[in-house]
Chain A
Amino acid sequence: MSTSRTIRVEALTRVEGEGALNVRLSGDQIEAVELNIYEPPRFFEAFLRGRPLEDAPDITARICGICPVAYQMSSVHALERALGVEITPEIRQLRRLLYCGEWIESHALHMHLLHAPDFLGFASGIEMGQHFPEELKRGLKLKKIGNQLLEILGGRSVHPINVCVGGFYRPPKRDALLDLLPSLEWGIAAAADATRWVSEFDFPEFEADYDFVSLTHPDEYPFNEGDMLSSRTGVFPVAEYEKTIQEYQVPHSTALQAEKVATKSSCHFGPLARVNLNREKLQPIAKKLADECHFPTLCQNPFRAIVARGIELTHAFEEAAALVKAYRPVKSVRQSYELRAGEGAAATEAPRGTLFHRYHVDDEGKIVSALISAPTSQNQRQIEVDLESFLPGYLSLDNATIAHHCERLIRSYDPCISCATHFLRLTIERNDVS
């Protein structure tokens, strides 16, 4: 005899974007776990074709309002490679500073408003604030400083307007940056306190043998440059990205998924991967903080990504403060270039994982083709794989509780479904055979 049971959660919340999760169970057997992203497709890669290449940073930024800087950085680096543009050390430093602003804003948002409420049993950051007012206010202040940095450097925090192929339209004003320095210095200590706070949370016992992937760089914590590093297969060049990690389409999602070409296996991108692979390159206070919080050398518990995010938040404040102190304005932070036909690829580290772009351009400066692999589509398969091994431990619980735990696991990836193409609705179908 067989009985069927369906568990339905109307929407996965506190994630950026909208999608659904379908779980089919037959007795205690999991038949399928499908992360169903039904965010309407927007066809960016199609309408970029034929446009002037200088439009790419502004247009691709609109893929995601949470991490527009990541899109701007990956697009300008890829296009500069296609055009053979070398950027100056000053431009390079300012791009790192801009990225610090986005990491601060995005990580502080996710830690305090989206993720921490899970561990403390609240429905939202605002509700959490009624019981943890100081922690929430600290989080909002940290986030605000990230936004202020983005405004000084980029003109505004969502879809900054100062990034162009070749550098920046205008160098930032030194006075404005120096005025922010006390806040950045406060932020180092406050971010470290926030990290200590989240590191004391109760983490579900769950570990997986992940293939962690991120950029890596010999001298610095990865933002814009370097080679790709996989914890399983080692270093591979960014130029060979699609040969190593390829996107494919599944019927249940408008976001493409990604897997390793050679092994058909999923990869884990984001803060956990970056801290595991690049811990030695963290700024001194952030590195000490990781040790102090007993963050494992190889942390395989996805729920602990919130701690990795705190470590990176601290790192971003430290690096931003150092960059601001060292900043000496130069007249121009924009390299000129000659148009030529060519092709270029780049990967940079968005707050939630590696973002890869490749462009072909023609000799009139028009985009011939564009390929964009967003971090959430790359993590999507990993999330499904995680749920397949996570669920069996929870099947004896009631449907609402199972759904809640699944949502928590998904949320720990800080998925940005707008990026991946948005509404996570969770359905669990049970066909109990007895």
Chain B
Amino acid sequence: MSNKLRLGVFKFASCDGCQLSLLNAEDELLALAEKLEIAHFLEASSIIGAGPFDVSLVEGSISTEADLQRIKDVRRLSKTLITIGACATSGGIQALRNGASYEEFVRAVYPSPEFIHSLETATPISQHVPVDFELRGCPVNTKQLVQILVDHLHGRRIRVPNHSVCRDCKLSGTVCVTVARGLPCLGPVTQAGCGAICPEFTRGCYGCYGPAHQSNPSSLMAWLSGHQHPVEQLVPLLQNFNAAAPAFSNAAKELQEGARR
């Protein structure tokens, strides 16, 4: 047996983009494979290893009864469990069904709803099992993903910066799209990690890395709605890939309630 660490990659309800981010580490992939044994990674290998795993990467949210059981098995078999991406860390875009009429959603997509077996909600992994580290992003950043694996291999504490996208714009000299163009932007309340690409491409941040540490989305919303941005524009901005992250969902709720008053 090799003394490599055994890696497991698992998928729940998701788009595959975060696992692909690992395969997108074209320059590091072969070096990583020298140090990690890919024991379970259905998208990349036909070897389906049983546990235990030294480190597991989990993509996707929990949205079926079967997955609810499967994540418990994955947790039991994994020494370190890292969730990757917005689906796994906050529920993802599919969490938009939480709070909507589930029955009606199924009927809208499937002509025979009775064949569909799914939970009424899509929820983050941490709601069901203890998680050792959450890597944010829709999708995760390949560099951050490689970095946390390397840190883990060397026994270092895994961490990524938790400041806001707004600060990255200042560091890179990107002109503020809210100040200069009047665009609504979630940069002040969204966690960095993407490289502040949206403002660089002259559009507002849409929050795909979720709420930044100690951010106050409600305050930003109050400011934006006081500056000609209608609630109908701001609510969808909060309700996308991290709609179910508490800081975003609370701010959306306050906006909606404020609009009704």
Contact = CB atoms under 8 A, between A and B. Distances in A.
Interface in B153-206: 194-195, 197-198, 200-203, 206
A16 B112 CA distance: 25
Given A55-B240, A113-B23, A251-B112, A66 B17 contact: yes
Contacts of A11: 42, 48
A39 B64 CA distance: 10
B233 A58 contact: no
Contact of B64 (A40, A136, A156): A40
Interface in A109-164: 109, 113-114, 117, 123-127, 129, 136-137, 140-141, 143-144, 147, 155-159, 161-162, 164
Interface in B117-134: 118, 122
Nearest to A423: B42
A223 B190 CA distance: 35
Given A66-B20, A162-B201, A169-B203, A15 B43 contact: yes
A412 B204 CA distance: 40
Given A43-B108, A58-B240, A249-B111, A156 B194 contact: yes
A25 B110 CA distance: 29
B94 interface: yes
Given A65-B16, A68-B17, A140 B118 contact: no
Given A41-B116, A47-B105, A170-B202, A65 B18 contact: yes
B45 A124 contact: yes
A63 B64 CA distance: 18
Contacts of A312: none
A231 interface: no
A423 B67 CA distance: 12
A351 interface: no
Contact of B94 (A42, A45, A129, A169): A42
Given A13-B45, A43-B97, A249 B201 contact: no
A59 B240 contact: yes
Contacts of A62: 15, 17, 92-93, 138, 241
Most chain A C-beta atoms within 10 Å of own C-beta, residue among B27, B67, B100, B110: B110
B149 interface: no
A17 interface: yes
Interface stretch (B6-14, B219-227, B247-255): B6-14
B26 interface: yes
A126 to B, nearest CB: 5
A183 B101 CA distance: 50
B111 A45 contact: no
Interface string B20-38: 1101101101100100001
A126 B30 contact: yes
B113 to A, nearest CB: 9
Given A41-B109, A52-B236, A123-B47, A109 B23 contact: yes
A10 B48 CA distance: 8
A113 to B, nearest CB: 6
Nearest to B59: A65
Contact of B67 (A40, A68, A113): A40
A274 interface: no
Nearest to B15: A65
Contacts of B48: 10-11, 13
A405 interface: no
Contacts of A51: 236
B108 A64 contact: no
A52 B236 CA distance: 8
Contacts of B97: 43, 46-47
B123 to A, nearest CB: 12
Contacts of A422: 11, 14, 16
Contacts, number: 191
Contacts of A156: 139, 194-195, 197
A169 B205 CA distance: 13
Contact of B46 (A14, A16, A55): A14
A48 to B, nearest CB: 9
A371 B67 CA distance: 27
Given A124-B46, A249-B110, A169 B64 contact: no
A159 B197 contact: no
A210 to B, nearest CB: 27
Contacts of A13: 42-43, 45-46, 48
A141 B30 CA distance: 12
B96 interface: yes
B21 A158 contact: yes
A63 B240 contact: no
A22 interface: no
Contacts of A18: 11, 42
B29 to A, nearest CB: 7
A251 B236 CA distance: 34
Contacts of B198: 155, 161
B196 to A, nearest CB: 10
A342 to B, nearest CB: 20
Interface string A303-345: 0000000000000000000000000000000000000000000
A418 B109 CA distance: 16
Most chain B C-beta atoms within 10 Å of own C-beta, residue among A117, A125, A169, A418: A418
B106 interface: yes
A170 B42 CA distance: 37
The 4 closest A-B pairs by CB, nearest first: A65-B17, A124-B45, A40-B13, A155-B197
12 contacts: A41-B110, A45-B108, A51-B236, A62-B93, A65-B21, A126-B29, A147-B24, A155-B201, A156-B139, A161-B203, A251-B112, A422-B11
Interface of B: 11-21, 23-24, 26-27, 29-30, 33, 38, 41-48, 63-64, 66-67, 92-94, 96-97, 100, 104-106, 108-112, 115-116, 118, 122, 138-139, 194-195, 197-198, 200-203, 206, 208, 232-233, 236, 240-241
Given A46-B109, A144-B27, 9 more contacts: A18-B42, A62-B17, A65-B16, A127-B45, A156-B197, A169-B202, A418-B14, A423-B11, A423-B42
Interface of A: 10-11, 13-18, 38-47, 49, 51-52, 55, 58-59, 62-66, 68, 109, 113-114, 117, 123-127, 129, 136-137, 140-141, 143-144, 147, 155-159, 161-162, 164, 169-170, 248-251, 254, 256, 407, 416, 418, 422-423
